[in-house]
Amino acid sequence: MIEENGIENGSLREIAGKQCVFYDGYWIKWYEPPADSLRAKKRLIEALTRRLFNHVEHGINMPGNRLAEAKQAYESETDPARKRVKGAMLAGALFNRAADIFTKLVELQELGVEIGTANKLTRECGQCLLDALEFGKSVRHRSGDESIDELWGEPFKAFSIPVEDFYRSRYIKIAQTMRDIDRIAEAMTGVFSDSAPYSGIAAHIKDFADAAKLKCETLRTDPVIFDVWPRFVVAGEQLSGFEPISSAAAGREIEDARRLIEHGRELLTYVARARVPMPKSTENYIKECDRYQATYADPNRV
């Protein structure tokens, strides 16, 4: 696939001292994928499991050995709201059961036992991941705004395709995430770009968006995380702490602006940390920016 300026997706180049790969308009920090093996997939799925439960609603990280209980509780529930939550708990149990099986498959392989794709445990592991993906559609992000289906699908993808192909798919998702970060930042900047009381906020928005994209592309195991994470946190704090220059705006307008800025900061944080797009939340925030502009249409207030 040929992108802007004739650069092909997957192209590698050293930029500002770091090796980067190009996807869909973005240069993203590139990491050497591990050799494709069951052990590499085990470590990858373990990391994806931690990442998943770190971003979804509380209370659904059910152990795999409680799968039967979780399934019975879900099937016997009649209240729709409670059934959704129990479905989320079932998704967690299915997810962990798959991880448990995969761990044992790796241990058997290390003992010299050949494990093929037709093996009963291998098939059960794959089915648990598929079922977890289906029930995971009802699981909400910790913000409560939407589910993040991408996070539930990644372990099955890691299980079913070569490790190198999985890493390639992640770069595509990171590029899409960076595009959402830019869209959110552009919407926020557009609201305040012509407003004299907020004339200095654009620089803070840009600093935070740039830091969010760095956070998005950087693995926690990378030593540069000790620079990337503090930059991300401090840029967010500076954006949250921004104060308008003048007092001409009414109290309600100032409060609405503060809520809009804080909501944008939170959303950028969620997207950057999850490293996947949040399309529903992004669209809702852009509409929120549009409503603010329509309500406070005088950009020359000083």
How much is the pLDDT for 139?
85
Q: How far is CA 250 from CA 2, 271, 302, in A?
A: 50, 32, 11
Provide the domain count of the chain.
3
> What are the tokens at 160?
């079913």
Residue 167 counted as domain residue: no
- pTM for the structure as a whole: 0.82
Q: Residue 117: is its pLDDT beyond 70?
A: no
Domain that holds residue 190: 176-295
Q: Residue 4: is its pLDDT beyond 70?
A: no
Say if residue 3 is in the same domain as residue 116: no
Say if residue 123 is in the same domain as residue 182: no
Residue 186 counted as domain residue: yes
Q: Residue 31: is its pLDDT beyond 80?
A: yes
Say if residue 58 is in the same domain as residue 143: yes
* β 12-15/26-29 pair status: unpaired
Q: What is the mean predicted confidence (pLDDT) over 103-121?
A: 78
Of 114-128, 157-171, 198-212, the one with minimum mean pLDDT is 114-128
Residue 210 counted as domain residue: yes
Residue 107 counted as domain residue: yes
Residue 238 counted as domain residue: yes
Q: Residue 64: is its pLDDT beyond 90?
A: yes
pLDDT band at 182 (very low <50, low <70, confident <90, very high): very high
Compute the distance between CA of residue 248 and CA of residue 258 in angstroms, rounded to an integer. Answer: 15
Q: What is the mean predicted confidence (pLDDT) over 189-207?
A: 89
Q: Residue 2: is its pLDDT beyond 50?
A: no
Q: Residue 191: is its pLDDT beyond 60?
A: yes
Q: Residue 153: is its pLDDT beyond 60?
A: yes
Angle (nearest 5°) at CA 52 between 148 and 224: 110
Say if residue 105 is in the same domain as residue 186: no
Say if residue 249 is in the same domain as residue 282: yes
Please tell me which residue, 235 or 109, carries the higher pLDDT value. Answer: 235
239 within 8 A of 208, measured Cβ to Cβ: yes
Q: Residue 39: is its pLDDT beyond 90?
A: no
Say if residue 106 is in the same domain as residue 79: yes
- Mean pLDDT, all residues of the chain: 87
pLDDT band at 301 (very low <50, low <70, confident <90, very high): very low
Say if residue 183 is in the same domain as residue 281: yes
Compute the distance between CA of residue 295 and CA of residue 182 in angstroms, rounded to an integer. Answer: 24
9 within 8 A of 23, measured Cβ to Cβ: yes
Q: Residue 159: is its pLDDT beyond 90?
A: no
How many Cβ atoms sit within 10 Å of the Cβ of residue 38?
16
How much is the pLDDT for 198?
84
Say if residue 286 is in the same domain as residue 180: yes
Please tell me which residue, 138 or 66, carries the higher pLDDT value. Answer: 66
pLDDT band at 207 (very low <50, low <70, confident <90, very high): very high
Residue 165 counted as domain residue: no
pLDDT band at 44 (very low <50, low <70, confident <90, very high): confident
Q: Which of 133, 160, 187 is the last residue of a domain?
A: 160
Say if residue 218 is in the same domain as residue 274: yes
Nearest CA to 178 out of 261, 288, 275 is that of 275
What pLDDT, in 10s, does the model give residues 245-271? 765 556 778 888 899 999 999 999 999
How much is the pLDDT for 3?
53
Residue 300 counted as domain residue: no
pLDDT band at 89 (very low <50, low <70, confident <90, very high): very high
Residue 170 counted as domain residue: no
Say if residue 141 is in the same domain as residue 248: no
How much is the pLDDT for 22?
96
Bridge partners of 23, per DSSP, are 26
Say if residue 61 is in the same domain as residue 130: yes
Q: Residue 203: is its pLDDT beyond 60?
A: yes
Say if residue 218 is in the same domain as residue 111: no
